C-alpha cells in the first residue's frame, strides 16, 4: 500500500483518480481548496478507511508523508482560470514548487498535470511533444498556458538538481462525469444546455477543432505514466486523437439528447486555439496506452451523469 497525495483531488479528474487509486488499495490523501472542485465529487470516499481530505491551498507549503504525488491542483476551464489570473499563475508556479519541495523531502515520485495549452494556438498539427508551441505571453490565456509551461520547466530542473523521479503529462481535452455543470468547458456546456432546452452556444463559426478524451481513458494513462520506468519522464501527450469541430460536437449532443435547443453563435474568445489533436505515438510506445472509449459512448455516460444531478 502506497501513501498517495492527489492535489486537486475534489475536482473533475482528481476525484476519478482518488477513487481509482483507493480501489487499488492505496492510502489516499486528497488535497484541495475547493475553488472549482467540490466535496460532492468525493462523497463515496468520505469516511472510508485509507482516505483523508485536507482543505488546503497549494500556494502554501504543507508537510505530508507520501510516496507519490499527483499534482492536479489548478483551475482548468478558461472561464475559471481567467476569473482570477494571478491566483492561476500562483497556483501553477507556487503549487508546483511546494509539491516538488515536498517530493524532495519524502523522496517521492511526482506527476504534473500539464496541458495541451502549452502548445498554444498550434501551427503544427497534430501536436507532438517535440513542438515548442505558439503561446501569446500577454493574452488572456497566458495565466494558465505560461503557468503550466513554467511548471514543466521547474519539474525538469528539480529532476536535474535533486535526481527526483518526475512525470510530465500533457493532457488534451478530457470530459466525463463529475464535471461541474457550470464548469464552462464545451462538453459540459453543450450537454447542460441541450438537457435544459436552452440555446447551444458556439463561439466563433464552430469550425475550430478539439479532440475529446473520456475520463476513464485519461486516468488509465495517468496511472500508467506514474508507474512507468524512471527514465520515462515525459512530457507525454495523453488524449484521444479523434478530432471534431465544435459544430460537429453540437450536432452529436443535440441528436443524442433528442433536444429541441437551437444553435447560436457568439464571439470567439481571444486567442482561442483553432485546432488541436494529440500525436500519441510516445504514449503508445512507452506506456502501451491508447484511448478506448469513442466520443459517442463517453457522451452517453456524461449525459446520464448530468441528468442525475440536474
Q: Which residues bind ligand UDP (CB under 6 A)?
A: 77-78, 173, 185-186, 189, 201-203, 208, 210, 246, 269, 272
**The only residue of 51, 57, 143, 277 in contact with ligand NAD, by rule CB under 6 A:** 57
Binds 269: which of ligand NAD, ligand UDP, none (CB < 5-8 Å by kind): ligand UDP
What is 163-203 written as a DSSP string?
---EEEEEE--EE-TT--TT--SHHHHHHHHHHHTPPEEEE
Q: Is 144 a catalytic residue?
A: yes
Q: Is 246 in the site for ligand NAD (CB under 6 A)?
A: no
Secondary structure class of 292 (helix, strand, coil): coil
Kindly tell me which of 7 and 77 has the beta carbon lying closer to ligand UDP.
77
Q: Is 34 in the site for ligand NAD (CB under 6 A)?
A: yes
- Helix H or strand E encompassing 221: helix 215-226
* Residue 232: CB minimum distance to ligand UDP, A: 26
Largest CA distance in the chain: 58
β-strand partners of 244: 210
What is the Cα–Cα distance from 284 to 217, expressed in whole angstroms?
A: 13
Kindly tell me which of 92 and 208 has the beta carbon lying closer to ligand UDP.
208
What is the Cα–Cα distance from 126 to 122, expressed in whole angstroms?
A: 9
Kindly tell me which of 31 and 76 has the beta carbon lying closer to ligand UDP.
76
**The only residue of 21, 27, 29, 35 in contact with ligand NAD, by rule CB under 6 A:** 35
* Residue 228: CB minimum distance to ligand UDP, A: 26
Helices 215-226, 12-23: crossing angle, 10 deg rounding: 60
Helices 186-196, 246-257: crossing angle, 10 deg rounding: 40
What is the Cα–Cα distance from 161 to 156, expressed in whole angstroms?
A: 9
Binds 29: which of ligand UDP, ligand NAD, none (CB < 5-8 Å by kind): none
Binds 174: which of ligand UDP, ligand NAD, none (CB < 5-8 Å by kind): ligand NAD
Q: Is 282 in the site for ligand NAD (CB under 6 A)?
A: no
Kindly tell me which of 8 and 291 has the beta carbon lying closer to ligand NAD.
8
**Catalytic residue (choose from 35, 144, 158, 175):** 144
Binds 34: which of ligand NAD, ligand UDP, none (CB < 5-8 Å by kind): ligand NAD
What's the full length of the chain, in residues? 310
**The only residue of 28, 171, 223, 254 in contact with ligand NAD, by rule CB under 6 A:** 171
Instruction: Return the sign of the alpha-carbon dihedral for residues 6, 7, 10, 15.
Output: negative
Look at strands 109-115 and 166-171 and give their pairing: parallel
* Residue 187: CB minimum distance to ligand UDP, A: 7
List the Cα angle 59/64/65 in 5-degree steps: 145
Binds 171: which of ligand UDP, ligand NAD, none (CB < 5-8 Å by kind): ligand NAD
196-235: contacts with ligand NAD (CB under 6 A):
none
Kindly tell me which of 74 and 254 has the beta carbon lying closer to ligand NAD.
74
φ, ψ (nearest 5 deg) of residue 197: 70, 20
What is the Cα–Cα distance from 82 to 73, expressed in whole angstroms?
A: 15
Does a cis peptide bond (omega within 30 degrees of 0) precede residue 235? yes
Q: Is 259 in the site for ligand NAD (CB under 6 A)?
A: no
Please give the C-alpha separations between residue 224 and each of 171, 228, 283, 290, in angstroms, as whole numbers: 14, 6, 9, 11
Please give the residue ranges that form the binding site for ligand NAD (CB under 6 A): 8, 10-14, 32-37, 57-59, 72-76, 91, 95, 113, 115, 171, 173-174
Q: Which amino acids are annotated catalytic?
A: 144
Amino acid at each position: 500500500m502506497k501513501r498517495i497525495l492527489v492535489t486537486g483531488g475534489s475536482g473533475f479528474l482528481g476525484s476519478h483518480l482518488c477513487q481509482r487509486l483507493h480501489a487499488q488499495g492505496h492510502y489516499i490523501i486528497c488535497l484541495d481548496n475547493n475553488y472549482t472542485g467540490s466535496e460532492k465529487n468525493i462523497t463515496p470516499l468520505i469516511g472510508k478507511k485509507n482516505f483523508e481530505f485536507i482543505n488546503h491551498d497549494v500556494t502554501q507549503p504543507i508537510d505530508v508523508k507520501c510516496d507519490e504525488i499527483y499534482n492536479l491542483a489548478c483551475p482548468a476551464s478558461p472561464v475559471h482560470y481567467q476569473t482570477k489570473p494571478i491566483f492561476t499563475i500562483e497556483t501553477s508556479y507556487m503549487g508546483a514548487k511546494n509539491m516538488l519541495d515536498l517530493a524532495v523531502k519524502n523522496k517521492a515520485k511526482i506527476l504534473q498535470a500539464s496541458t495541451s495549452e502549452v502548445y498554444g494556438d498550434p501551427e503544427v498539427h497534430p501536436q507532438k511533444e517535440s513542438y515548442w508551441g505558439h503561446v501569446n505571453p500577454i493574452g488572456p490565456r497566458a495565466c494558465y498556458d505560461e503557468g503550466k509551461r513554467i511548471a514543466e520547466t521547474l519539474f525538469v530542473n528539480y529532476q536535474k538538481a535533486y535526481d527526483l523521479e518526475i512525470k510530465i503529462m500533457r493532457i488534451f481535452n478530457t470530459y466525463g462525469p463529475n464535471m461541474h455543470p457550470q464548469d464552462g468547458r464545451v462538453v459540459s456546456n453543450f450537454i447542460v444546455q441541450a438537457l435544459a432546452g436552452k440555446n447551444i452556444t458556439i463561439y466563433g463559426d464552430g469550425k475550430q477543432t478539439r479532440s475529446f478524451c473520456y475520463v476513464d481513458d485519461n486516468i488509465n494513462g495517468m496511472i500508467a505514466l506514474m508507474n512507468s520506468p524512471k527514465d520515462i519522464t515525459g512530457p507525454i501527450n495523453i488524449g484521444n486523437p479523434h478530432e471534431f469541430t465544435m459544430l460537429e460536437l453540437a450536432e452529436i449532443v443535440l441528436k443524442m439528447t433528442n433536444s429541441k435547443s437551437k444553435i447560436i453563435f457568439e464571439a470567439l474568445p481571444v486567442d482561442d486555439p483553432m485546432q488541436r489533436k494529440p500525436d500519441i505515438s510516445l504514449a503508445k510506445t512507452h506506456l502501451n496506452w491508447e484511448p478506448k472509449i469513442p466520443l459517442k459512448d463517453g457522451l452517453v455516460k456524461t449525459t446520464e451523469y448530468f441528468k442525475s444531478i440536474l
